[in-house]
Amino acid sequence: MEPSRRDAELPEYALIERQEMLRGIGYGDEALRRIQVGVANTWGEINPAAVHLNRVTQAVKAGVWAAGGTPREFVVSSVCTSMAGDDRFLLPYRDVVAAYIETVAAANLFDAMVFVPVCDDVIPGHLMAAARLDLPSVVVTGGYMTLNRWDGRPVDPLQVAAGHFMDYQEGRIDAGEFGEIENRGCAGGGACPVMGTANTMAALAEALGMSLPGNATTPGADSRLLRIGFEAGHMAVELHRHGITPSRIMTPGAFENAVRVLMAVGGSTNGVLHLQAIASELGLEIRPRTFNQLSAETPLICDIAPSGSGCNYLADLDQAGGIQAVMQELSPLLHTDVLTVTGKLLAHNLQAARVRDRNVIRPLDEPLAAEGGLHFLSGSLAPKGALVKTSAVPKPLVRHRGPARIFATEEHACEALAAGALLPGDVVVVRYAGPKGDPGMRLLQRFLWQLAARGLHDRVAFVTDGRISGTNKGCAITQVDPEAAEGGPLSIVRDGDVIAIDIPARTLELEVPVEEVARRIGAWQPPAPRARKGYLSVYARLAKSANSGAA
User: Nearest Cα to 106, choosing from 68, 132, 75, 137?
Assistant: 132
Going by DSSP bridges, is the β-strand pair 461-464/427-430 parallel, antiparallel, or unpaired? parallel
Domains annotated for the chain, with CATH where assigned, are 34-146+189-350 (3.40.50.2300), 149-185 (no CATH), 375-548 (3.50.30.80)
pLDDT one-digit tens code per residue, 324-379: 999 999 999 999 999 999 999 999 999 999 999 999 999 999 999 999 999 999 99
Give the per-residue pLDDT at 2.
64
Query: Residue 403: what residue type?
Result: P
Please state, in angstroms and rounded to a whole number, the distance separating the CA atoms of residues 115 and 121. Answer: 14
Quote helix, strand, coil % in the chain, to nearest 5. 45, 15, 40
How far, in Å, are 106, 396, 537 from residue 526 at the CA level?
40, 36, 16
pLDDT one-digit tens code per residue, 155-190: 989 889 888 998 999 999 999 999 999 999 999 999
Q: Tell me the pTM.
A: 0.95
Kindly tell me if the per-residue pLDDT of 99 is higher than 90: yes
At 522, the pLDDT band (50, 70, 90 cuts) reads very high
Give the per-residue pLDDT at 308.
87
Give the per-residue pLDDT at 217.
98
The backbone torsions φ and ψ at residue 37, rounded to the nearest 5 degrees and listed phi first, read: -110, 115
Would you name the residues annotated as active-site residues? 469
Compute the mean pLDDT over every residue in the chain, rounded to the nearest whole number.
Answer: 95
Chain centre distance of CA 17: 41
User: Nearest Cα to 43, choosing from 74, 20, 6?
Assistant: 74
pLDDT one-digit tens code per residue, 237-285: 999 999 999 999 999 999 999 999 999 999 999 999 999 999 999 999 9
Give the per-residue pLDDT at 431.
97
Give the per-residue pLDDT at 398.
96
Q: Are the beta carbons of 549 and 542 closer than 8 angstroms?
A: no
User: Nearest Cα to 378, choosing from 287, 299, 440?
Assistant: 287
pLDDT one-digit tens code per residue, 116-163: 999 999 999 999 999 999 999 999 999 999 999 998 888 989 889 888
At 41, the pLDDT band (50, 70, 90 cuts) reads very high
Q: Are the beta carbons of 123 and 202 closer than 8 angstroms?
A: yes
- Crossing angle of helices 270-280/197-208, nearest 10°? 40
